[in-house]
Structures are given as structure tokens and as C-alpha cells.
Amino acid sequence: MSDDIHNASRPGYTRRTYLLDREFQLKYILLLAGMGAGSLGVFGALAYRLHVSSVSAGVDGGPSLLWLTALGSAGLGVLLGLFGLLFTHRVAGPVHVMSLYVAALAAGRYPRLRPLRKKDELKRFFDRFSEAVDRIRQREADEAHALEVALAALKPVATTPEAREALETLNQLHTRKRQAVDNPTGGTFKSVA
């Protein structure tokens, strides 16, 4: 029964937007396609030369072609592996750093954001993330200021024990907000600049 309700709320089509970040994705799609096409072109040219020289010499070039295929496959594997390492480093570094920043935000601290490295990817995302952190920090500062004004106004009239206890709770909240805004965490994170 709950499956019927769950499925009824879903649209009857599947969204298929494959190019979410056109510039980022096309850059690597074209790079991978170029690497594959270039490698196959070099392999094809070498195989053709081997075949022509084998035919002109009247020799069977099958074993040589097999070795050339194995060598070409291994070379392409190494090339793509190195490219994968470089690419994942340029993406995983910023993701790792942002996950540390999110952990600091979840703990109620505001990280001191540093710029990404020159060749890192995800710079637009990091810029949006930084802007969001700055806005949250500013909102927190505004709330701390509002609490400060309210505390100053309520302090003279807080005469009952309950009012003083409520005032102390507000004061602790103000102190926590002010510390989070005024003392961003910076030494906890490695520099990514």
C-alpha cells in the first residue's frame, strides 16, 4: 500500500540531463575521447606498418601484431590511469577540503576559507560555497548583535530569578554566536592554496 502512494507521487518520466556542468564535463569528455582516438590512431598506424612490412617480406606478422596489440593496450591503460590520477586529485582535493569545512560548520564553527589551488576543478562550486558560508556568518553576526542589544535592554529590568536565568541563557547564546563569528577556525585545516 505504501509503495502505491510512494510511486504515485513520482512523475511518469525519468529526468536525463547528462550535461549538468557543460564546460567541466565537455572538457574531460573531449580530452578522454582525444586520448582514445589518438592512441588508437597510433596503434592503427603501427599495426598497418607491421602488416605491410610482413606482407612485403612474405612473413606471418600475427605474433608481432599480437604483441603490438598487448603493448598498445597496456600503454593506453597506463596513460588513462595517470590521467585518472591527475583528474581525481584535482577534484578530490577540493571535495576533501569542503568536507572539512562542512564538518566545521556542523560543529558550529566558521572555517577560515582559503582559495583553491590554481589547477583545481570545482572552482565555481567552491565560490558558491564560500559565498554561502559568508552569508551564514553575516547572519550569525547580525543575530549576535541583535542579542547584544536585547541583553542591554533587558538587563536593567531582569529582577526575578527566572528573568535572570533567561537572561543568562541569552547571554550564553550571544557569547557562543560571537565566538563562532569572531574566531573562525583556520589552524585546523591544511592550506589548499
* In the chain, where the domains are located: 17-182
3-state secondary structure of 70: helix
What is d(CA 43, CA 115) in angstroms, rounded to the nearest whole number?
42
User: Given pLDDT bands bounded at 50, 70 and 90, which one contains residue 190?
Assistant: very low
pLDDT, tens digit (0-9, with 9 covering 90-100), for 108-143: 888 888 899 998 999 999 999 999 999 999 999 999
Any bridge partners for residue 111, and if so which?
185
pLDDT, tens digit (0-9, with 9 covering 90-100), for 10-63: 667 677 788 888 888 898 899 889 988 998 898 888 888 888 888 888 888 778
3-state secondary structure of 16: coil
Instruction: With 0.85 as the threshold, say if the pTM is over it.
Output: no
The predicted model gives 151-160 an average pLDDT of 91
